[in-house]
Amino acid sequence: DSGVTQTPKHLITATGQRVTLRCSPRSGDLSVYWYQQSLDQGLQFLIQYYNGEERAKGNILERFSAQQFPDLHSELNLSSLELGDSALYFCASSVAGTDYEQYFGPGTRLTVT
Amino acid sequence: GENVEQHPSTLSVQEGDSAVIKCTYSDSASNYFPWYKQELGKRPQLIIDIRSNVGEKKDQRIAVTLNKTAKHFSLHITETQPEDSAVYFCAVLSGGSNYKLTFGKGTLLTVNP
């Protein structure tokens, strides 16, 4: 157990819908990272938040957005869902103040039908 | 952006043999190189990492070597056991103004008893 928690574990929804994934980092970690893992694209970095502020952006679609709240939990919002958005979504957190040693949560498996 | 190549994509060894997985990267400013192990349906788990000021790091049966000049690094697993069977990912932390982890495509390691 990495100490990073994610909910829900599984999510099944229809095309065009919107969903919210939630992540709580390890105690003391200020950074939260979101990753998407699919068979064709592999493990891809989406976005990073550090202490409530967006810090780095990767291959995140405009239909996706995220935020980090004062209690440091983070939410990833996916809207206008398409079949191709079906994937595993992981969040990770890292030792305070660095991007090293990123520990992953258990992931949310999103299925868009 | 950073480009990470990982080889081989699959590797099958006999229990007790050694396994070596190699990664190359493109950004000479990259300074952190972790390896993750992912079992089926589970989260990526950080197993070892190395920073750019070190050439080799060992942790029991696992070692990582880094050649910054050639821009490649390798994971070495000795005395492999069936529980080492998993997908292994290398990753590279790129610098500049957009710190992010870029992952290789993964290596499926199978250890046959």
What pLDDT digit, counting tens, does each position of B51-102 carry? 988 899 999 999 999 999 999 999 999 999 999 999 999 999 986 655 789 9
Shortest alpha-carbon distance between residue A103 and chain B (Å): 7
Mean pLDDT of A78-85: 97
Instruction: Check whether the bond before A8 is cis (ω within 30° of 0).
Output: yes
Please say whether the beta carbons of A3 and A106 come within 8 A. no
- Asked if the C-beta of B9 comes within 8 angstroms of chain A's C-beta atoms, the answer is no
- Asked if the C-beta of B32 comes within 8 angstroms of chain A's C-beta atoms, the answer is yes
Predicted pLDDT of residue A4:
97
Quick check: B43 and A105 CB within 8 A? yes
Quick check: A2 and B44 CB within 8 A? no
Predicted pLDDT of residue B82:
96
Cβ burial, residue B88 (10 Å; 0-12/13-18/19+): buried
- Asked if the C-beta of B46 comes within 8 angstroms of chain A's C-beta atoms, the answer is yes
Mean pLDDT of A15-38: 96
Query: How big, in percent rounded to 5, are the helix, strand and coil portions of chain B?
Result: 5, 60, 40
Shortest alpha-carbon distance between residue A76 and chain B (Å): 17
**What three-state secondary structure class fits B98?**
coil
* Positive or negative torsion for Cα B81, B85, B86, B91: positive
What φ, ψ does residue B25 adopt, rounded to 5°? -135, 170
More confident residue, A21 or A28: A21
Quick check: B106 and A42 CB within 8 A? yes
Best A48, A100, A108, A111 member to test B by mutation, with max B CBs in 10 Å, is A100
Give whole-number Cα distances, B22 to A99, B13, B73, in Å. 23, 16, 6
Q: From its phi and psi, is residue A70 left (phi > 0), alpha (psi between -120 and 50) or beta?
A: alpha
Buried b (16+ CB within 10 A) or exposed e, B29-43: ebbbbbbbbbeeeeb
Which of B110, B113, B108, B111 lies closest to B38, judged by CA? B108
Mean pLDDT of A21-39: 95
